[in-house]
Structure 1
Amino acid sequence: MSSFDNAVAYLSNSTPSDVPSTVKLELYGLFKFVTVSSLPTSPRPSIFDFTGRAKWDAWAAAGNKYTDKSAAQARYLEIAQSLGWTEGKAVESTSENKSNGGFGVSVSAMERPKDEDDGTLQGLAVSNDLEGLTVLLQKNPDLNATDEYGYTALHLASDRGHLAIVELLLKNGADRTIKDEDGLSALELAEAAGHQSVVKLLNT
């Protein structure tokens, strides 16, 4: 795992609670610059999509500031170090920090700041409610429906590292190829968040 990947995994699993939104957005823009392209690949969201517009602007800002990936990676690592990451530091993965998802990455935690179980597929997936999801699946809901942020239940479970939920969704026919509004699949979200067990499952 490269230093950049290690820093991404660290931030995805060890989210300080007091990180300003400006820092989160800068990390997000740098991550997109390094892993996707230098500039956003979609039109700028409308002024009514506050989160989407802020993320788009952060990505564009990174693309306008940096000329190559190495410089963007260096800045990402600099911020990561200021937030507690150190070179070669083992990434801890606990149920508590997994529930936080990640930030600075194109992960659902940027859109869903609270892991609330609202009884929907997405809510049950985020809250890791296997029993509740099993009951809901008996009603044959649309497993591939997206929420207001463009995430399917599989996206959210994969981002949070909820292996049993991911397995249940896949067994019931969830489409692992669907992309979120940032063009990322459930597999790519799991990779960005460092959830290797989920990555392995989604690759089978």
Structure 2
Amino acid sequence: MTRKTPWDMTIREFAERAGSSKATPGGGSTSALAAALGSAMTSMAASLSHRERTPDQIEHIEAAELEMKEVSAECERLMSEDMRSFAEYLKANEAAETEEDEALIRAAHKTIEVPLSLMEVCIRGLKSARGIAEATREHVLSDLGVGIVMFEAAARSAYLTVRINLPACGDAGKREAYGDRADVLLLQAERLRELALNEVTRAIERAAEKEAGGS
């Protein structure tokens, strides 16, 4: 019998377990879910925008559809990885006699590297979503906007997970490198969200003006 993964939970199961006293799913897993929802909304906007589009627009739309499949798969992997890495950290922390314990250090690094990877996935999602803002059909522009907001929220949430886990990283140089990388990724996510939402908003306004002019 195939073992049930976090991705196989119903929405109700995930929400109830996340809201319980259990250690997982927590913030990292919730961030992965938010990014997955961002990919779903972006994918939907792309899949419903094929009609009456130029060859160049179709190329961007199809590229976005492929990218969202990969992004969604990464979100699924990282959700499981987040839950596993945190469980391993708790186990290593309980077994460690000192803070210099190698298993504990490795586990601590993993709790930082997983959300950093998720932030990178969110950047990919935001770039792809922005790439189809001009090609998305009017009736799903708001859905694309939701996808953009979810990607940025997921990146910001993953950033907080990185920050809360940084003190457990004993190596000062590595801790600084992790923190700097997280800062850069967050700035990228914020900027991409702003640019992408501005493009979506302009497209919505153009669509409204077109409809008003035709009525």
**TM-score, normalisation: structure 2:** 0.28
Comparing both structures, which one devotes a greater share of its residues to helix?
A: 2
Instruction: Tell which structure's C-alpha radius of gyration is larger.
Output: 2
Larger RCO, structure (CA 8 Å, separation 6 or more): 2
